[in-house]
Amino acid sequence: MLGCTAYFRQGVALQYLGRHADALAAFASGLAQDPKSLQLLVGMVEAAMKSPLRDSLEPTYQQLQKMKLDKSPFVVVSVIGQELLSAGHHGASVVVLEAALRIGTCSLKLRGSVFSALSCAYWSLGNTEKSTAHMQQDLEVAKTLGDQSGECRAHGNLGSAFFSKGNYREALTNHRHQLVLAMKLKDREAASSALSSLGHVYTAIGDFPNALASHKQCVILAKQSKDQLSEARELGNMGAVYIAMGDFANAVQCHEDHLGIAKALGSKREEARAYSNLGSAYHYRRDFDKATSYHARVLELAQELGERAVEMRAYAGLGHAARCMQDLERAKQHHQQQLGMPRGWQTGPPRAGRPPTWVRAGGQGQLGLQPG
């Protein structure tokens, strides 16, 4: 392990090379060994203020100065760690935030904020085990503090994490706790998030009546909040559940309502989402001509938007429709175009016999982590 002076020199050298995030990680690692080192603390603050983080960090640091917390190594290191996380420097943020925990603090609330941030950082790095462990610690801190809002947030994160790991029982338990707390707090946004997540979990376990009820309740909350985008997306979720129940007429009605709101909002991306879901609905009806026309519209919108992920989805739908129509040459061309997309955008071909369905963005397909 490097000595504190070596960490300081390493930090200065990395800063000189323009590797700002790594430089901050080096200073933090040194402070974890010697929290009383004023040289390392000053060096870290100076490095942060000379980095691209300055614009977002400076107002927070000025607040710390007013509160006389700018000399607290734990507070400074944890604040910089969370700024690194916000800026997308996930690896460096983990090093810095873990260093903050090693420095330590008597404040449970501050420790809780670091646990929450670390859960986000580890999730972004694909380390679900460490991420979930920090979520659990975040939850315990919130319970100890009697912080129902923090508890609600932590249950939401845990529910999404367990869902992504296929642990539906724990996902249901956590999202139910999230919903109860959201209702106690009269937090409509958190309640809507919990209900939407519950809808996805119920769908995954084949409990379609409860899935439908959850998404319907979300639509009601969205209307009450005049949140048309959420209303549109939840209508899309309802449509997907109706398809799973074999109720084609209601599914199409939901997707057409979704499309109508998307057009009224002028959201081409949401319009593409609705057309994609309509295409999937007509796949189930075995009306492949109509499915093709909807997926072709998705492709047009994707190319207008310059969004390759949407384009890939359109080619997947077009390829599936062509395959079902026994036009194997056209199917091959569409799937080759789908596979020609950069790897980062590819989610794999649709399962045999099932077209791709585009559910709510930020739903259970992605972890809806909410930092503290």
Residue 50: count other Cβ atoms within 10 Å of its Cβ: 12
Tokens of 270: 């949401």
Check residue 341 and give its pLDDT.
Answer: 52
Contact (CB, 8 A) for 314 and 295: yes
Check residue 359 and give its pLDDT.
Answer: 38
Contact (CB, 8 A) for 6 and 37: no
Check residue 337 and give its pLDDT.
Answer: 87
Contact (CB, 8 A) for 276 and 294: yes
Tokens of 237: 């979720």
What is the Cα–Cα distance from 251 to 357, expressed in whole angstroms?
12
What is the Cα–Cα distance from 193 to 370, expressed in whole angstroms?
11
Contact (CB, 8 A) for 152 and 185: yes
Tokens of 131: 């991420």
Check residue 327 and give its pLDDT.
Answer: 87
Check residue 114 and give its pLDDT.
Answer: 94
What is the Cα–Cα distance from 332 to 345, expressed in whole angstroms?
19
What is the Cα–Cα distance from 279 to 291, expressed in whole angstroms?
4
State the DSSP string of 53-114.
THHHHHHHHHHHHHTT-TT-HHHHHHHHHHHHHHTT-HHHHHHHHHHHHHH--S-HHHHHHH
The full length of the chain comes to 372
Per-residue exposure over 247-262, b if at least 16 CB sit within 10 Å of its own CB, e if not: beeebbebbebbbebb
Residue-wise pLDDT tens for the chain (372 aa)? 566 789 999 999 999 999 999 999 999 999 999 999 999 999 999 999 999 999 999 999 999 999 999 999 999 999 999 999 999 999 999 999 999 999 998 899 999 999 999 999 999 999 999 999 999 999 999 999 999 999 999 999 999 999 999 999 999 999 999 999 999 999 999 999 999 999 999 999 999 999 999 999 999 999 999 999 999 999 999 999 999 999 999 999 999 999 999 999 999 999 999 999 999 999 988 999 999 999 999 999 999 999 888 899 999 999 989 899 998 888 888 888 888 754 333 333 333 333 333 433 333 333 344 545
The overall longest dimension of the chain from CA atoms, in Å, is 73
**Which residue is associated with the tokens 């599914």?**
251
